Structure 1
Amino acid sequence: MKTFPALIAVALAGIAAPLAAQTGPVVDAPAGRVRGTSDADVRVFRGIPYAAAPVGRGRWQPPVPLPRWQGERAATDFGPACVQPPVPAASVYASPPMPMSEDCLSLNVWAPANARGAPVMVWIHGGALLTGSSREPMYDGRKLAERGIVVVSINYRLGVLGWLAHPWLSRENRQRASGNYGLLDQIAALTWVRDNVAAFGGDPKAVTIAGESAGGLSALYLMTSPAARGLFRQAIAQSSYMISMPELRRSVFGMPPGEGGGELLSGALQAPDLASLRAVDAQALTNQAAKLGFAPFGVVDGAVLPQQMVDAFDRGEQARVPVLAGFNQGEIRSLRVLAPKPPADAATYEREIGKRYGDLAPAFLRLYPAADYPESILATTRDALYGWTAERVVRKQAALGLPSYLYLFDHGYPAADEAGLHAFHASELAFVFGTADRTQANWPKVPDTAGERALSDAMIDYWTSFVKDGKPVARAAPTWPAYAADRGYMDFGATPEVKRDLMPGMFALNEQVMCRRRATGRIGWNWNVGLAAPALPPAAPGC
């Protein structure tokens, strides 16, 4: 195993500043001098390394801080994506091939040309902690920066390279823990932002973490991680999911220990020891782990993530920061793999729900009726993962007296609706970033109409104003009420519209199911919902 000084040497070798371009804005930050590009009134710096990911024989260690580089570094091209398996070519989320590397910890900055002490949004990309990159064109931060904020987007280690727990790794760690390397990368990126963003015109004390899907999940991890405390003042969680988490050495909620999952993987790969596992090529290892079903998740390790997310929020031990959270009406339309297979008929559906939900079956069937069971199946999974989480986060922060805002994205446009993808998972991103012209090849194309542009302009306003002062406000659009004010939320349909009491009964049902399952210590609350649910335990004290 490499010593820490040896890792520093590797890091230095990997970040030797390339020959800088001769034109473009220059920033002399504590990390080093960088030269970027200009895009209208926005300065753009791409591919800045914020830490080194130990690679090869040093793999699966925390990110390595970097000393100041010498000379001037060109920051004109995005850094390579973190190693990941391919996305099926037919997927709506498929992107063109991109450069990848095991040492991939870089970030990008969009800053108003004359920014001084501007609020900062740090964007964490989605992709199930398995795929994705900050180089996706849809994440271009220019239009948000034009509203007066600094936008930073980051890469973090993915899949088996970022989230593997294993006894071999825990034994060599001072805290006797392993896993969560991707989360440690995110914390390292936030630390870099704290130390360097002022040089780009940002305020290190005014950082908002933001992300969608696995990026939203990461925002919740960061809210519950003591190691991230003080590195941000607000959070945006889009389509996040507060599901049950594996623990490092104990089997809980129907899941094997995190270390046990790692042992199963090394056994399947026929790796006799850690050196053998580290010797496997990064891409080959990533692909094999994905084929074997390795699912990357944060693990409760007693250190980086000390407890289940639901417990942290119930105890008020999460970061006490304002939040903006929400989800999409058609989340599962593009993620049908998460939903159970529909039964033969409505009678079978109703009978199965009765068996699985017992005394809560009547409430379940009122929300998800048998009369339209194919749609009910999609709605069931959507709400158990995304809807319940969004409202739970907002409720818990509001209960602490913090500004908290809830939304539902229910916007349809012809190409998406005709494809059966009304308000599908991640479809709000093109509107939040104003990048409808920069979506993936299979993405239903957003028409360039006045109505679509107006909706996007309003969402950009709401998001950037929340980053500025914790209150989402948009020009020529309704005032977004805080959730505490009569359970108000913003419905993004054809236009923004204020509504109240989102999906009555949805939160209460899913909260009750979670509570009963948690009380057993044996049943998880994740994708095992509706027709895939185990028999619901009886009511428990406190539920």
Structure 2
Amino acid sequence: MGLSPLGKIVIGLCAVLGLSGAAPAPREAPTATVGEGRVAGTWQDNVRIFRGLPYAAPPVGERRWQPPEAPPSWSGLRQAAEFGPDCVQPTYPADSVYFEAPRPQSEDCLTLNIWAPAGAKKAPVIVWIHGGSLQFGGSASPMYDGREFARRGIVFVSINYRLGVFGWFAHPGLSAESPQNVSGNYGLLDQVAALRWVQRNIAAFGGDPANVTAMGESAGALSVSYLLASPKARGLFAKAIVQSTNMRAMPRLREAAFGLPSAEASGQALGEALGAADVAALRAVDPDALLAAAVRARFPAQPVVDGVVVPDQLVNILDRGAQMKVPLLAGFNSGEVRSQRRLVPAMPGDPADYAAAAAERYGDLAAAYLKLYPASGGTESMLAATRDTIYGWATERLVRAQTAAGAPAYLYVFDHCYPAARARDLCAFHASELPFVFGIAGRPVAGSRNWPAAEGPAEVRLAEQMIDYWTSFAATGKPAAPSAADWRAYGRGEYVMRFADRPRSERNPFPGSFEFHEDRMQRQRADGLQWFIP
């Protein structure tokens, strides 16, 4: 018996709406062709995801402590469904707010991941550089899920780079191997190599290589700051997002300066502690033993002023206006050091002791310090002073430098608190903006068991607004969000966006703070001293 006209209409509608009784055909894996070969990823909703793509050759054996080299090619279809291992690193203390469930680690870790909208063509690109003191972390962290960016039209890339002693180790023997007679900065060179890979290959995923934003938080923000200043990164990105950077003095390659030993001297000392007579012996050390020795020696993972990759101290480069003149979005959190109490000096016992400590530390600047951070503020004054010494001054200095250079620059202060953070005295702590920037506030973050969950409707709403600002900046160079405050460039008015219960446009968030810390930095620098001291 044939179907009635109505029956045919119903079946047709069911087919259109996907309501037929038959199971839907499985969706074919998305594929792309890069310079090294073809890759197959996975789908999540309407987002194509490719994980664990090598952007450089494995830095193992003779390649340990060498600049990154091109990755090997492959034949056939490479599966890109799983993240690559994290770079070798120590484990966060189990009670740290930043602790995550352990993931596989390897020296063979120079991989990246891509989240791309279906059908993207010449889409804006963000390259994410993770934080972790240049010693911890990895692109596989659930916190760095790029889906929400991709759903807003961004091709989102996250990268691994060498950490700790594997990424920032300088040594006379390594410098002698180098055609430019330098060593160290391998982690920064990894980031440059990843950005170069993006330039060559991102069009295969629908991204626009002419519209790349380098974005990072904490050590990732420090990295982006140095990429802005490095000749090696020129032309590799068109915009920058810097979340909670610092601007301390870095060691020189061969000379002691600013109270720091030379980077080569630090490397030699670690080699002697390991009983390694030369670079060959150091390369033969098992990675776990090398990591353990570096942790025992408190090896400082940081950029090295070598005159080639890092030409000079960042403050000097900014003073000369020699950094890349690209649009910048940068900010810091009002409670940065609530999760970094080891950085905060001990609170003096009473107001007289507080004033005496200020006089000892700041000399004739003590009166200005006490006006900004009075004894009556107690611990809150100490927290604010430490925040501004490390993060606030550095961020505003970077924004001022871009503004002076004629590039649009936007400043924010993340000042949002919510019940779980308030209960632990962690309001607006270091990195607490991440679930908001990534648009994942309102749901638990897998693997981050100690993170105060941001779960309320106010948090979901703020997250939607913040990721809208970030994505519009990546697309156009100007942050904007529908039905939210207009974000004005810093400019002469010193405008700032404060993210509290909602985005609010303000001016000069902490009057006098920048000027105080700039004055102190200039004095410390003139005296040849480190200025990164709370």
Which TM bucket (shorter chain)? over 0.9
Verify the 8 A CA contact 2:373 2:385 in the aligned structure 1: yes
Q: Give the drift of 1:525.
A: 1.4
Quick one: distance in 2 between partners of 1:35 and 1:94? 32
Verify the 8 A CA contact 1:236 1:323 in the aligned structure 2: yes
Q: Secondary structure at the match of 2:202?
A: helix
2:235 is aligned with 1:230: yes
2:454 is aligned with 1:446: yes
Q: Secondary structure at the match of 2:268?
A: helix
Q: Give the drift of 1:54.
A: 2.2
Moved more, 291-300 or 64-73: 64-73
Verify the 8 A CA contact 2:57 2:72 in the aligned structure 1: no
State which of 360, 370, 383 in structure 1 corresponds to 2:375.
370
Q: Give the drift of 1:485.
A: 5.1
Alignment of 1:123-142 (within 5 A): 123-142=128-147
Verify the 8 A CA contact 2:53 2:113 in the aligned structure 1: yes
Q: Give the root-mean-square deviation of aligned CA atoms.
A: 1.3
Aligned to 2:9: none
Q: Give the drift of 1:67.
A: 4.0
Aligned to 2:176: 171
Verify the 8 A CA contact 1:324 1:405 in the aligned structure 2: yes
Quick one: distance in 2 between partners of 1:408 and 1:31? 42
Q: Give the drift of 1:346.
A: 2.6
Aligned to 2:314: 309
Aligned to 2:503: 496
Q: Give the drift of 1:434.
A: 1.5
2:124 is aligned with 1:119: yes
Q: Give the drift of 1:444.
A: 0.5
Aligned-partner residue type, residue 531 of structure 2: W
State which of 164, 181, 187 in structure 2 corresponds to 1:182.
187
Aligned to 2:479: 472
Alignment of 1:43-54 (within 5 A): 43-54=48-59
Residues 309-367 of structure 1 deviation map (CA, whole Å, 9 limit, x = unaligned): 00111101001111000000111000111122222223211111012212211111111
Q: Hey, which bits of structure 1, 4+ residues long, moved more than 4 A?
A: none
Verify the 8 A CA contact 1:50 1:106 in the aligned structure 2: yes
Residues 445-499 of structure 1 deviation map (CA, whole Å, 9 limit, x = unaligned): 112x321111000000000000001000001100001000511110000111111
Quick one: distance in 1 between partners of 2:505 and 2:185? 38
State which of 240, 247, 251 in structure 1 corresponds to 2:252.
247
Aligned to 2:465: 458
Moved more, 132-141 or 278-287: 278-287
Aligned to 2:155: 150
Residues 283-328 of structure 1 deviation map (CA, whole Å, 9 limit, x = unaligned): 2211220221111000000111111100111101001111000000
Aligned-partner residue type, residue 145 of structure 1: A
Quick one: distance in 2 between partners of 1:388 and 1:335? 17
Quick one: distance in 1 between partners of 2:252 and 2:493? 37
Q: Secondary structure at the match of 1:468?
A: helix
Alignment of 1:79-478 (within 5 A): 79-436=84-441, 437-439=443-445, 440-447=448-455, 449-478=456-485
Aligned-partner residue type, residue 445 of structure 1: A
Verify the 8 A CA contact 1:411 1:422 in the aligned structure 2: yes
Residues 161-197 of structure 1 deviation map (CA, whole Å, 9 limit, x = unaligned): 0000111111111111000000000000000000000
Q: Give the drift of 1:385.
A: 1.0
Aligned to 1:533: none
Aligned to 2:524: 517
Q: Give the drift of 1:22.
A: 9.6
Q: Secondary structure at the match of 1:119?
A: strand
Give the greater-gyration-radius structure (CA): 2
Quick one: distance in 1 between partners of 2:37 and 2:371? 60
2:64 is aligned with 1:59: yes
Quick one: distance in 1 between partners of 2:498 and 2:329? 13
Aligned-partner residue type, residue 506 of structure 2: K
Q: Secondary structure at the match of 1:222?
A: helix
Aligned to 1:18: none
Verify the 8 A CA contact 1:411 1:494 in the aligned structure 2: yes
Verify the 8 A CA contact 2:325 2:406 in the aligned structure 1: no
Unaligned runs of 5+ in 1: 1-20, 530-543
Unaligned runs of 5+ in 2: 1-25
Q: Give the drift of 1:31.
A: 2.9
Verify the 8 A CA contact 2:270 2:293 in the aligned structure 1: no
How many residue pairs were aligned? Answer: 506
Verify the 8 A CA contact 1:26 1:35 in the aligned structure 2: yes
Q: Secondary structure at the match of 1:38?
A: strand
Quick one: distance in 2 between partners of 1:270 and 1:381? 39
The two structures have a TM-score, normalised by structure 1, of: 0.92
Q: Secondary structure at the match of 1:203?
A: strand
Verify the 8 A CA contact 1:56 1:282 in the aligned structure 2: no
